[in-house]
Amino acid sequence: MFEFGRDLRKLFAQARESDDLGWLELIGADLVRAEARQQSIDAGRVSCAHPFEAGLRASALWREHTRRTGMGDSLDRARKAAADAVRTAAGADQTARAAIETACVLMLQFDLCGDLDVLGRAVTGIDALGRIHRPDTAAAAAVIHARLKARQARLSTDSAALLDAAALLDAALHDLSPRAGPLADEVRLDRAALALEAGVARRDVRLLDQAGRDLRSLVERAAPEYRPLTRARALALCGVGMKLLAAMAEDAGVLKQGQMMFEAAADQFTPDHSPLDWVAIQIVRVDDHASLLGLARAQALTEGGGLVLGALAREMRFARETVLAEAGRDQVALSILRDRLCARLADRSERHTPLDWVANQIALARVNLALERLTGRAATGLDMTLVEAAATARELGVIVLAERAETLSASRTVRA
């Protein structure tokens, strides 16, 4: 028994020294933070034998913690560690690797908080790289380039851009080493999301099949006892795909299958293991029977961080409360909701991000539209508010919020 325990500790110590950080999926967010803090301390010591490598590893660990929790201070630490790697880089290859890590931090910041300027800086940094001679570094540069282009393509209305980005992801995945592990899985997730989005937009069976193959491969490869988060993310994306297909085909059976995928994804880990993954699943699984308690918890976990998921959770919570109040023809409850939102918008003591403003304006518009339907009295200024909210969301690169504002505006126009 004691030998078994020592062997496990030895294996874990070896994993800590490995370049493959897939083992981090087995530990909770708090332990990831502890690993990142210790790595930063080691990297900052004068006696550190390899400060460049230590800085890169610290940045990667802080990125993982940020991805799990959305904590701004962890993102700041990842940026600092990447900047330290840039400062200590020696030679062309290390310079390229530091630029790649910097781009990874910026891409994560965009994914979590939006902001097209951040995405643009990441693209510019990678585009500025010259010829890279070391094969694994060149492959890593191709991966981050393809993933950044995929994000830009998803913001575009040009379907050809989606296909071009998918081709870049294909090529990047082809060039990766078989030992790439988690990095290859990230590319497959991006490629599946892109193929799913393009397939639904174009009603292209080939693209939908591609998304299905990638997700099936990920689910099969990501054993729950080793890669619970990768498995959960793949299952959740499967659920999104089923939900979109169900809406297209008006098929309740397919929708039920999608809900089962979300349930399976949520069963892979606990909320404290990866709070943002848990919140993301609550948001994508939401339906007409959404739990207010679940949405309230999702909002609490993301409050004040300037996160896209936080804005979505807040807007969806208010949307659900509005639906329930309108269904009960409760004008008092709707008026209370409106007063809460107006007070929040007027409160200058809190730090409100543009995303907060967009979510609050959309929520307020929902409440006013509900009151308009119940009372017959037209709300003023709604159309302009929704136009401004949609424009702000698009400037931030948060298309889902922009589309919600535009859908509300369009529905009011249709009724008029």
pLDDT in tens, 203-256: 888 888 888 888 988 999 888 888 999 999 999 999 988 888 887 778 888 888
CB 152 within 8 Å of CB 123: yes
Residues in the chain: 416
CA distance 255 to 252: 5
DSSP conformational letter for 19:
S
Rounded-to-integer distance, Cα 24 and Cα 12, Å: 10
Inter-residue contact 139 to 98 (CB < 8 Å): no
DSSP string, 265-317: HHTTS-TTT-HHHHHHHHHHT--TT--HHHHHHHHHHHTTS--HHHHHHHHHH
List, for residues 102-138, the tens digit of each pLDDT value.
999 999 999 999 999 999 999 999 999 988 999 999 9
Compute the CA torsion angle 318, 324, 329, 330 (nearest 10 deg): -60
CA distance 57 to 18: 10
What type of residue sits at position 228? P
- How far is residue 377's CA from residue 354's CA, in Å, rounded to a whole number? 30
Residue 128 is encoded by which pair of tokens? 């500025």
The pLDDT, as a whole number, for residue 208 is 84
Range from 38-52, 216-230, 289-303 carrying the lowest mean pLDDT: 289-303
Could you list the beta-strand ranges (E) of 31-122: none
Q: Each residue of 147-177: pLDDT tens digit?
A: 999 999 999 877 788 889 989 999 999 888 7
The span from the CA of 63 to the CA of 77, in Å, is: 9
Least Cα distance to 61 among 89, 26, 31 occurs for 31
Q: What is residue 23's predicted lDDT score, i.e. its pLDDT? A: 86
Query: Comparing 178 with 337, which gets the higher pLDDT?
Result: 337
- Lookup: tokens for 316: 């969806």
* Neighbour-count burial of 47, counting CB atoms closer than 10 A to its CB (0-12 exposed, 13-18 middle, 19+ buried): exposed
Residues in CB range of 384: below 8 A, 6 or more apart: none
CA distances to 2, 10, 112 from 6, rounded to whole Å, are 6, 6, 39
**Domain segments of the chain: what residues?**
1-131, 286-416
CA-based angle 257:249:268, to the nearest 5? Answer: 20
DSSP code for 176: S
Six token digits for residue 288:
């007409």
CB 137 within 8 A of CB 144: no
The span from the first CA to the last CA of the chain, in angstroms, equals: 74
